């Protein structure tokens, strides 16, 4: 099966429905998938770059009992049923919908939003009804098939078309385990720690998520003392459970460190952050991203990738700020400094985080080759509890400014603290009081 809009494609009449398209990956897997994803990504960029456009829906139609069909009727019988499934699917698609036969089990597609009044849940209900309106003939026998449809909004909550499609596919596969005709829209919610199981279970979840790309980026704005220089955000990864719930970083980062997964997790976040900065999402030239890192994130493969990024997108480096922890600078000085030097040579800006009371006057911090100094979580409250700390804090800010380094105060929770820290000379303030993390910077600004 080829693209039904190509001239001379030899498609049967029932396979040409308006300008809806169905591409078969089996006709040349890599080429077909690339073609589909390029077109899907093109539509995603069109939407992202024009806020007046309506969001698309993406869908995965999953043939629940495809294995049973293959086992009882062979691959020939499965091919027959899939051909009939495609025919019924095409009958239900609208103009400009585009679908891909991804595997024997599933079709994935992007649904055109039309004038903004298209109801993807209503579409899914109609599709289920169409697919199950009668049994499927295989020679002289008949098959009763069931289907699951996973849906996801193709909008600013996801970082690209592929991510939205993965959400829809994962949801459809989950629904298929029940073997019933059903559909559902993917809606991420936050998961409490008690739902995540033991550390070992959580580590397995992290590994699976890294392998299957079941993670999400969230962004929290930093409030700047000066409006110049663009908008600054902290970028984090959030884990996604099998039920689609998002897990805050504080619940799984320690587990990732203990199970030697932190490097892979940070590389994932770095790649996504670079991708965001390198693409035209809501005027990214005005956006700067802070990303927490450690030396193990920068293996040779990652550094080589960053070199290629600099060659293709030289504008990205100055807008990416990688933050090493002061703990690593103190205890793994050689590794940390080598990583800092290589990143600085690529034009990437460097920050140092986790600076507590004992490091305020530390020579190691004063001489660190960094542009940003972030105080430790809880420092803001501790400053109010210890009056004698104020003098050291003011001296720390003075030394930082003397060497052209900006000071960041995290976890600011009260309005009066904001005023006090501005008066003290803090350059950036961050905290849930100002803004909770969001799945896209556009949602915060």
> Residue 380: its pLDDT value, please?
84
Q: How confident is the model at residue 425 (pLDDT cuts 50, 70, 90)?
A: very high
State the residue for tokens 């980062």.
253
- Please state which CATH number belongs to domain 191-444: 3.20.20.450
Has residue 14 got a pLDDT over 70?
A: no
Which DSSP string corresponds to 290-318?
EEEE-GGG--HHHHHHHHHHHHH-TTTGG
Mean pLDDT across 297-318: 94
Nearest partner of 317 among 276, 347, 279, judged by Cα: 347
pLDDT of 295 > 50? The answer is yes
118-145: pLDDT as tens digits: 888 999 999 999 999 999 999 889 999 9
Q: Bin 42: left if φ > 0, else alpha if -120 < ψ < 50, else beta.
A: alpha
pTM attached to this predicted model: 0.62
pLDDT of residue 240: 78
Q: 360 Cβ partners below 8 Å, 6+ apart?
A: 392, 393, 395, 396
Angstrom distance (rounded) from CA 389 to CA 82: 71
**How far is Cα 167 from Cα 237, in angstroms, rounded to an integer?**
16
DSSP 376: P
Mean pLDDT across 77-97: 90
Number of H helices, E strands in the chain: 15, 18
Pick 53 or 205 by higher pLDDT. 205
pLDDT of 50 strictly over 70: no
Tell me: the pLDDT tens digits for 245-254?
777 777 788 8
Region of poorest pLDDT, from 1-5, 21-25, 372-376: 1-5
3-state secondary structure of 257: helix
Sign of CA dihedral 20, 24, 25, 30: negative
State the span(s) of the chain assigned CATH 3.20.20.450.
191-444
Using one digit for the tens of pLDDT, what is the confidence trace for 399-419?
999 999 999 998 887 777 888
User: Measuring CA to CA, which residue among 208, 172, 219, 185 is closest to residue 66?
Assistant: 172
| pLDDT value at residue 104 | 86
Is residue 1 predicted with pLDDT exceeding 80? no
Distance of alpha carbon 405 from alpha carbon 370, whole angstroms: 7
Task: Tell whether the model's pLDDT for residue 435 goes beyond 80.
Answer: no
Examine the pLDDT at 255 and tell me if it is beyond 90. no
Helices (H), 279-429: 300-312, 326-331, 333-345, 363-366, 379-385, 389-402, 415-424
Q: Return the pLDDT at 440.
A: 58
Q: What's the confidence (pLDDT) of residue 432?
A: 65
Return the pLDDT at 46: 75
pLDDT for 4? 34
Architecture of the domain defined by 13-185? 2-Layer Sandwich (3.30)
Indicate the range of 60-74, 77-91, 114-128, 299-313 predicted with least confidence: 114-128
198 or 302: which leads in pLDDT: 302
Contacts 24+ apart (CB under 8 A), 332-335: 332/295, 333/364, 335/295
DSSP class of residue 213? T
User: If pLDDT is split at 50, 70 and 90, which confidence band does 10 have?
Assistant: very low
What is each CA distance from 156 to 128, 269, 404, in whole angstroms?
A: 28, 17, 35
Evaluate if residue 387 carries a pLDDT over 60. yes
Residues of 85-100 as b/e, b for ≥16 C-beta within 10 angstroms? bbebbbebbeebbbbb
User: pLDDT per residue over 326-374, tens digit each?
Assistant: 989 988 889 999 999 999 999 999 999 999 988 998 889 999 999 999 9
214-231 pLDDT, tens digit each? 788 888 889 888 766 678
Q: Could you tell me where in the chain the CATH 3.30.70.270 domains are found? A: 13-185
* Stretch 58-82: mean pLDDT: 92
């Amino acid at each position: 099966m080829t693209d039904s809009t190509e001239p001379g494609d030899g498609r049967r009449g029932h396979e040409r429905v308006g300008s809806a398209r169905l591409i078969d990956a089996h006709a040349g897997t890599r080429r077909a998938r690339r073609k589909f994803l390029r077109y899907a990504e093109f539509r995603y960029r069109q939407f992202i770059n024009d806020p007046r456009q309506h969001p698309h829906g993406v869908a995965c139609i999953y043939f629940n009992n495809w294995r049973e069909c293959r086992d009882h009727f062979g691959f020939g019988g499965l091919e027959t049923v899939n051909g009939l499934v495609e025919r019924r699917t095409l009958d239900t698609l609208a103009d400009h919908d585009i679908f891909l036969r991804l595997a024997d089990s599933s079709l994935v597609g992007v649904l055109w939003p039309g004038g903004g009044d298209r109801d993807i849940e209503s579409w899914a209900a109609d599709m289920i009804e169409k697919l199950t309106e009668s049994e499927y003939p295989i020679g002289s026998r008949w098959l009763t098939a069931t289907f699951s449809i996973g849906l996801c909004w193709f909008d600013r909550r996801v970082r690209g078309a592929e991510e939205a499609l993965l959400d829809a596919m994962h949801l459809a596969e989950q629904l298929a385990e029940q073997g019933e005709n059903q559909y559902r829209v993917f809606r991420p919610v936050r998961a409490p720690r008690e739902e995540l199981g033991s550390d070992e279970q959580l580590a397995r979840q992290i590994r699976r998520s890294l392998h299957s790309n079941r993670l999400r980026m969230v962004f929290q704005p930093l409030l700047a003392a000066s409006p110049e220089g663009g908008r600054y955000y902290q970028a984090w990864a959030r884990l996604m459970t099998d039920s689609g719930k998002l897990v805050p970083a504080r619940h799984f980062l320690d587990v990732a460190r203990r199970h030697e997964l932190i490097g892979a997790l940070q590389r994932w976040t770095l790649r996504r952050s670079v991708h965001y900065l390198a693409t035209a999402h809501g005027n990214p030239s005005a956006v700067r991203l802070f990303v927490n890192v450690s030396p193990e994130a920068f293996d040779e493969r990652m550094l080589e990738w960053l070199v290629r990024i600099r060659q293709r997108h030289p504008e990205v480096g100055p807008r990416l700020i990688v933050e090493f922890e002061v703990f690593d600078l103190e205890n793994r000085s050689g590794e940390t400094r080598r990583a800092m030097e290589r990143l600085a040579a690529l034009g990437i800006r460097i920050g140092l985080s986790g600076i507590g009371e004992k490091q305020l006057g530390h020579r190691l911090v004063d001489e660190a080759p960094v542009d940003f100094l972030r105080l430790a979580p809880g420092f803001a409250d501790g400053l109010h509890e210890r009056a004698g700390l104020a003098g050291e804090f003011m001296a720390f800010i003075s030394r930082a400014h003397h060497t052209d380094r900006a000071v960041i105060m995290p976890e600011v929770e009260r309005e009066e603290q904001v005023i006090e820290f501005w008066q003290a000379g803090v350059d950036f303030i961050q905290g849930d009081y100002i803004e909770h993390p969001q799945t896209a910077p556009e949602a915060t600004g």
